[in-house]
């Protein structure tokens, strides 16, 4: 039972981050299509999709918030590991676990500040200073959901990192340390292999 709960705690963040990344990807694809329609319509047919330029600013903040989570589960955040790779493995494990704790603290604080901003927008019924006058709680709400996802995953990783530090510190480096060159090469080869298998 205890192993099953730990397995769920490992898989759940990956599933949530991947789902969020896919939804954001579809959103950006639809927005790109609308932008093409806007360009062609304005140049050739003299019509415009009002507000498409304003709406275009919102996906950036929202997809960034969700993308932080996906990058975290993929171990893709930039890490300056020049010194880390030269330290003894058990010292590196302490630093990797500690980095997860510090990250979770920063992200939780950022999420709380995001909630304050969202609450004020709802309380004062703020709207965008634009012809569309979008209620600001709407894009900020999606942005806040992305921050909550990031904070939840970072906190789960911090707790798991500290737990592993006590029971099996070698797995801390495997799970939360920066990927080694061999791991990056293996991941690229695996991705290339999957891409090749999908070709007709």
pLDDT of residue 134: 84
Residue 123: Cβ-neighbour burial (10 angstroms; 0-12, 13-18, 19+): exposed
pLDDT of residue 4: 42
Alpha carbon distance 23, 17 (integer Å): 10
Alpha carbon distance 5, 11 (integer Å): 10
The backbone torsions φ and ψ at residue 78, rounded to the nearest 5 degrees and listed phi first, read -65, 130
pLDDT of residue 57: 77
Alpha carbon distance 13, 7 (integer Å): 11
Alpha carbon distance 95, 176 (integer Å): 10
pLDDT of residue 50: 72
Handedness of CA 17, 19, 25, 28 (dihedral sign): negative
Residue 193: Cβ-neighbour burial (10 angstroms; 0-12, 13-18, 19+): exposed
Chunked in runs of 10, what are the mean pLDDT values of the chain (200 residues)?
A: 54 87 90 87 79 77 90 85 83 92 96 96 88 87 94 94 91 85 70 61
Alpha carbon distance 108, 106 (integer Å): 6
pLDDT of residue 52: 76
For residue 55, the tally of other CB atoms under 10 A from its CB is: 18
pLDDT of residue 9: 63
Residue 156: Cβ-neighbour burial (10 angstroms; 0-12, 13-18, 19+): middle
Task: Decide: 118 and 41 in contact? Cβ < 8 Å.
Answer: no
Question: Between vectors from CA 42 to CA 52 and to CA 138, what angle results, nearest 5°?
Answer: 5
pLDDT of residue 11: 79
pLDDT of residue 184: 67
């Amino acid at each position: 039972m205890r192993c099953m709960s730990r397995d769920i705690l490992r898989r759940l963040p990956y599933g949530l981050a991947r789902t969020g990344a896919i939804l954001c990807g579809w959103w950006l694809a639809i927005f790109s299509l609308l932008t093409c329609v806007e360009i062609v319509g304005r140049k050739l047919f003299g019509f415009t999709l009002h507000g498409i330029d304003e709406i275009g600013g919102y996906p950036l903040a929202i997809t960034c918030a969700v993308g932080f989570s996906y990058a975290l589960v993929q171990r893709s955040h930039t890490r300056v590991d020049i010194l880390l790779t030269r330290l003894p493995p058990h010292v590196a494990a302490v630093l990797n676990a500690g980095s997860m704790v510090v990250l979770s603290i920063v992200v939780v604080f950022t999420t709380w500040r995001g909630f304050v901003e969202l609450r004020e927008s709802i309380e004062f019924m703020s709207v965008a200073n634009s012809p569309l006058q979008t209620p600001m709680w709407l894009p900020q709400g999606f942005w806040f959901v992305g921050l909550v996802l990031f904070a939840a995953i970072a906190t789960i990783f911090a707790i798991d990192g500290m737990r592993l530090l006590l029971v099996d510190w070698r797995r801390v480096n495997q799970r939360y340390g920066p990927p080694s060159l061999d791991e990056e090469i293996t991941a690229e080869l695996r991705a290339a292999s999957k891409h090749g298998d999908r070709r007709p």
